[in-house]
């Protein structure tokens, strides 16, 4: 894990790592190829929680939680998480009403955010094209606002 990565996650409470096999199992169940940096992070810490920057709070779910959330939400028609026009895989939240997800409709599974109260595919914001971009975006938004 590079120094920039370590710097961005230094305030997070880290969980024990997860095996590559568990990550691959999740990818198969979710029909996604997780971004490389996300897999590297999960191999280091299977989920995490805490501050990114000065004020931003982040809960990164474990691989098992990501699968569970997907399975629950894919059967709930009131949630549009798997809308045909924007299929997503939730992997984190800010603990206060915003979810972060991999956008399966993009080639590189870009990371988007959307409000928990209205999970509609049109109500999203791009947060980064890579996992480090996502963390850097959270870090900069909340330390320079």
Strands 111-115 and 125-128: antiparallel
- Beta-carbon contacts of 79 under 8 Å, excluding residues fewer than 6 positions away, are 73, 119
Over the stretch 20-79, which tens digit does the pLDDT of each residue have?
Answer: 999 999 999 998 899 999 999 999 999 999 999 888 899 999 999 999 988 877 655 444
Over the stretch 78-97, which tens digit does the pLDDT of each residue have?
Answer: 444 544 456 788 999 999 88
Question: How does DSSP assign 65-94, residue by residue?
Answer: HHHHHHHHHHT-TT--TT-TTS-EEEEEE-
Sign of CA dihedral 100, 102, 104, 109: positive
Q: Which of 54, 50, 38, 44 has the alpha carbon at shortest distance from 16? A: 44
User: What does pTM read for this prediction?
Assistant: 0.86
Determine the CATH number of domain 3-140.
3.40.1580.10
């Amino acid at each position: 894990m590079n120094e920039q990565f370590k710097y961005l996650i230094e305030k997070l409470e880290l969980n024990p790592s997860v095996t590559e096999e568990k990550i691959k199992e999740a990818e198969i169940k979710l029909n996604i190829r997780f971004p490389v940096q996300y897999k590297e992070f999960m191999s280091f810490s299977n989920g995490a929680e805490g501050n990114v920057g000065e004020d931003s709070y982040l809960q990164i779910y474990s691989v098992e939680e990501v699968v569970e959330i997907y399975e629950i939400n894919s059967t709930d028609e009131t949630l549009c998480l798997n809308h045909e026009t924007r299929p997503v895989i939730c992997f984190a939240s800010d603990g206060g009403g915003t979810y972060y997800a991999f956008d399966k409709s993009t080639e590189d599974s870009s990371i988007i955010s959307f409000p928990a109260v209205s999970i509609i595919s049109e109500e999203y914001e791009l947060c980064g094209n890579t996992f480090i971009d996502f963390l850097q975006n959270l870090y900069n938004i909340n330390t320079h606002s």
